[in-house]
Chains A and B, each alone.
Chain A
Amino acid sequence: MGFPATIREDFPILRVRVNGKPLVYLDSANTSQKPRQVIEALVRYYEEYNANIHRGVYSIAERATAEYEAARAKAARFVGAHDAAEIVFTRNITEALNLIAHSWGRRHVGPGDEILTTEMEHHSNLVPWQLLAQERGARLRHIPFDDRGCLILDDLERLITDRTKIVALVHVSNAFGTVNPVAEIARAAHAVGAVVVVDGAQSTPHRPVDVRALGVDFFGFTGHKMLAPMGIGGLWARRALLEEMDPFLGGGEMISDVWLDRATWNEVPWKFEAGTQNVGDAIALGAAIEYLERLGMDAVAAHEREITAYALGRLGEVPGLHLMGPGVDERGGVVSFWMDGIHPHDVAQVLDTDGVCVRAGHHCTKPLHRKLGIGASVRASFYVYTIKEEIDVLARSLLRTRELFSVAR
Chain B
Amino acid sequence: MSLDDLYREVILDHYSHPRNRGVVDPADVMREGANPLCGDEIRVSLRVRDGIVEDVRFEGKGCSISQASTSMMTELVKGKRVEEVGGLIAAFKAMMHGEPPGDDLGDLEALQGVRKFPVRVKCATLGWVTLEGALDELADTRGPARGT
Candidates B2, B16, B65, B67; contact of A407 at CB < 8 Å = B16
A contact residues, total (Cβ < 8 Å): 22
The reply to whether the CB of A256 lies closer than 8 angstroms to some CB of chain B is no
The reply to whether the CB of A409 lies closer than 8 angstroms to some CB of chain B is yes
The reply to whether the CB of B41 lies closer than 8 angstroms to some CB of chain A is yes
Q: Complex Cα distance A353/B13, Å?
A: 22
CB pair B63–A361 under 8 Å, yes or no, is no
CB pair A375–B12 under 8 Å, yes or no, is no
Residues of chain A with a CB closer than 8 A to B6's CB: 349
Binds A, one of B32-40, B80-88, B94-102: B32-40
Given A404-B3, A404-B7, A346 contacting B63 (CB threshold 8 A) = yes
Q: Complex Cα distance A283/B14, Å?
A: 53
Residues of chain B with a CB closer than 8 A to A405's CB: 12, 64
Candidates A341, A342, A353, A375; contact of B38 at CB < 8 Å = A375
CB pair A353–B7 under 8 Å, yes or no, is no
CB pair B1–A408 under 8 Å, yes or no, is no
Residues of chain A with a CB closer than 8 A to B12's CB: 405, 407-408
CB pair A343–B39 under 8 Å, yes or no, is no
Candidates B7, B38, B65; contact of A360 at CB < 8 Å = B38
Smallest CB–CB gap between A320 and chain B, Å?
14
Q: Complex Cα distance A357/B24, Å?
A: 40
Smallest CB–CB gap between A361 and chain B, Å?
5
The reply to whether the CB of A239 lies closer than 8 angstroms to some CB of chain B is no
CB pair B123–A353 under 8 Å, yes or no, is no
Residues of chain B with a CB closer than 8 A to A346's CB: 7, 63-65
Q: Complex Cα distance A397/B1, Å?
A: 16
Residues of chain B with a CB closer than 8 A to A349's CB: 3, 6, 117, 120
1/0 per residue B7-45: CB within 8 Å of A?
101001101100000000000000000000111110000
1/0 per residue B40-69: CB within 8 Å of A?
110000000000000000000111110100
Q: Looking across the interface, which residue of chain B has its beta carbon closest to that of A374?
A: B61
Residues of chain B with a CB closer than 8 A to A408's CB: 12, 15-16, 64
Q: Looking across the interface, which residue of chain A has its beta carbon closest to that of B40?
A: A375
Smallest CB–CB gap between B2 and chain A, Å?
8
Smallest CB–CB gap between A239 and chain B, Å?
39
B contact residues, total (Cβ < 8 Å): 24
Q: Complex Cα distance A376/B2, Å?
A: 24
Q: Complex Cα distance A285/B28, Å?
A: 57
Smallest CB–CB gap between B57 and chain A, Å?
19
Q: Complex Cα distance A342/B64, Å?
A: 8
Q: Looking across the interface, which residue of chain A has its beta carbon closest to that of B60?
A: A375
CB pair A409–B63 under 8 Å, yes or no, is no
Residues of chain B with a CB closer than 8 A to A409's CB: 16
Residues of chain B with a CB closer than 8 A to A353's CB: 1-3
CB pair A362–B38 under 8 Å, yes or no, is yes
1/0 per residue A111-155: CB within 8 Å of B?
000000000000000000000000000000000000000000000
1/0 per residue A292-326: CB within 8 Å of B?
00000000000000000000000000000000000
1/0 per residue A340-362: CB within 8 Å of B?
01111110011001000000111
Q: Complex Cα distance A342/B62, Å?
A: 10
Smallest CB–CB gap between A349 and chain B, Å?
7
Smallest CB–CB gap between B79 and chain A, Å?
27
The reply to whether the CB of A19 lies closer than 8 angstroms to some CB of chain B is yes
Smallest CB–CB gap between B32 and chain A, Å?
13
The reply to whether the CB of A366 lies closer than 8 angstroms to some CB of chain B is yes
Q: Complex Cα distance A345/B66, Å?
A: 10
The reply to whether the CB of A369 lies closer than 8 angstroms to some CB of chain B is yes
Q: Looking across the interface, which residue of chain A has its beta carbon closest to that of B64?
A: A346
Smallest CB–CB gap between B113 and chain A, Å?
11
Residues of chain A with a CB closer than 8 A to B65's CB: 345-346
1/0 per residue A379-407: CB within 8 Å of B?
00000000000000000000000001101
Q: Looking across the interface, which residue of chain B has its beta carbon closest to that of A369?
A: B39
Q: Complex Cα distance A360/B117, Å?
A: 15
Q: Which residues of A contact B (CB under 8 A)?
A: 19, 341-346, 349-350, 353, 360-362, 366, 369, 375-376, 404-405, 407-409
Q: 25 A-B Cβ contacts within 8 A?
A: A341-B16, A343-B62, A345-B63, A345-B65, A345-B120, A346-B63, A346-B65, A349-B117, A353-B1, A353-B2, A361-B37, A362-B39, A369-B39, A375-B39, A375-B40, A375-B41, A375-B61, A376-B39, A376-B40, A404-B7, A405-B12, A407-B12, A407-B16, A408-B16, A409-B16
A sample of 19 more A-B contacts (CB under 8 A), given A376-B38, A407-B16, is A19-B1, A341-B16, A343-B61, A343-B62, A343-B64, A345-B123, A346-B7, A346-B64, A353-B1, A353-B2, A362-B38, A366-B39, A369-B39, A375-B38, A375-B40, A375-B61, A376-B39, A407-B12, A408-B64
Across chains A and B, which 7 residue pairs bring their CB atoms closest together, nearest first?
A343-B63, A345-B63, A408-B16, A362-B39, A375-B39, A375-B61, A361-B38
